[in-house]
Amino acid sequence: MTAASAVEIQASTLAGYADASRLRQVQDRDWALDQVTGEPGTLIDLGSGIGQLLQAALERFPTLRHAVGLERSEHRLAEAAVRLQPYGERVSLHPADLTAPEPLPLRADVITQTSVLHWLYPWEERIFAWAAAHLAPGGSFLLTTYHPARDAHGLGGEDELVRDALVALGTPYEEVPGLLARADVLPIATRTRTVEDLAEVIGRHLRVAGHLERDAVVTVDGAAQYEHFHAATFGDYYSRLVPAERRAAFFRAVGESAWRRQTERGHVSHMPVRLWTLTSR
Ligand SMILES: C[S@@+](CC[C@H](N)C(=O)[O-])C[C@H]1O[C@@H](n2cnc3c(N)ncnc32)[C@H](O)[C@@H]1O
């Protein structure tokens, strides 16, 4: 058995997110918090990761008495606990699977969920029902969703870099969708759903009070930077498509694909991101 490389260890623990998230996800944090009105007392962040949004909210809103994070990854919860330790009893972090969310004995003025919803496919409706039951009167759920263009096989966004990497490692281009399907790796551009699909699911539980859009453009200054972004963001979701002894080469090839795109196009990727403001019906 070969020893796992540093990047494989990073992927298995989702480490390095504070650094990696500067490339894309961190912009959602301030964007969402900019929409908060009034003086929130309770905020719940769904898929709170390493606690960056909760920390920013605690700094911004002195009225915030309960900043609550729900998160599945034990590594991320541990990192968040260290980050948020200075805020003492204003913070609570709970291990949670958002595809089967448990009720909490509180109501929130603000619920946030940034860069998470695609991981809940096809069970997103459960978190909308949960949010409807946990919003305080007049509260809002601020949600960001990503919408990469997709091809006839449902591939797009990160799937394209993964396809480049698999081709570089020897898989014929046209066999990539079949390889993903056989390994039960659902393309991310399928997971993200369309705005219309989401609006329909959301509308069963919540009212869409408004939305904003931005184009999330990712640029890098080298292949290694993207290799680490991919490992910190997608973990081993895609790398399990290749045998263990080829995983280090897979991560390297994803980074090389990103850098090739950067030099050819001036960016690695861009995609519309929507910020939804949802309220009780
Ligand atoms: C791309 S990160 C976003 C983290 C943070 N919200 C941000 O904007 O930086 C996605 C997060 O969702 C978490 N996640 C994915 N599926 C989840 C699930 N079923 N239940 C709880 N958390 C989940 C991951 O562990 C990860 O921390």
**Could you tell me the CATH number of the domain that includes residue 239?**
3.40.50.150
| Cβ count within 10 A of residue 9 | 12
Average pLDDT estimate for 241-264: 97
Which atom, in ligand 1's list, is nearest to the CA of 48?
A: 6
Residue 1, pLDDT > 60, answer: no
Element (H, E) at 250: helix 247-265
Average pLDDT estimate for 185-202: 97
Residue in 56, 61, 210, 187 with CA at minimum distance from that of residue 140: 210
Cα 113 to ligand 1 centroid, rounded to whole Å = 9
Which atom, in ligand 1's list, is nearest to the CA of 29?
A: 8
pLDDT at 17: 76
Which atom, in ligand 1's list, is nearest to the CA of 97?
A: 20
Cα 47 to ligand 1 centroid, rounded to whole Å = 4
Handedness of CA 96, 100, 106, 111 (dihedral sign): positive
DSSP state of 31: H
pLDDT at 55: 97
pLDDT at 2: 63
What's the whole-number average pLDDT of the chain? 95
Average pLDDT estimate for 14-22: 77
Residue 190, pLDDT > 60, answer: yes
Average pLDDT estimate for 106-121: 97
Residue 27 beta carbon below 6 angstroms from any ligand 1 atom: no
If one counts the domains in the chain, the total is: 1
Residue 22, pLDDT > 90, answer: no
Residue 92 domain flag:
yes
Residue 1 domain flag:
no
Cα 98 to ligand 1 centroid, rounded to whole Å = 9
Residue in 3, 27, 1, 20 with CA at minimum distance from that of residue 212: 27
Residue 205, pLDDT > 60, answer: yes
Residues of the domain holding 165: 6-280
pLDDT tens-digit series, residues 92-103 = 999 999 999 999
Residue 40 buriedness (CB in 10 A; 0-12 / 13-18 / 19+): buried
pLDDT at 12: 83
Q: Residue 104: which pLDDT band, with cuts at 50, 70 and 90?
A: very high
Preceding amide of 137 cis, omega within 30: no
| Cβ count within 10 A of residue 272 | 14
pLDDT at 18: 77
Q: In DSSP terms, which residues pair with 42 in a beta bridge?
A: 66
Residue 166 domain flag:
yes
Which atom, in ligand 1's list, is nearest to the CA of 26?
A: 9
Average pLDDT estimate for 134-155: 97
Query: Which range, of 19-23, 129-133, 135-139, 179-183, averages the lowest pLDDT?
Result: 19-23
Query: Which range, of 21-30, 106-115, 187-196, averages the lowest pLDDT?
Result: 21-30
Residue 30 beta carbon below 6 angstroms from any ligand 1 atom: no
Residue 247 domain flag:
yes
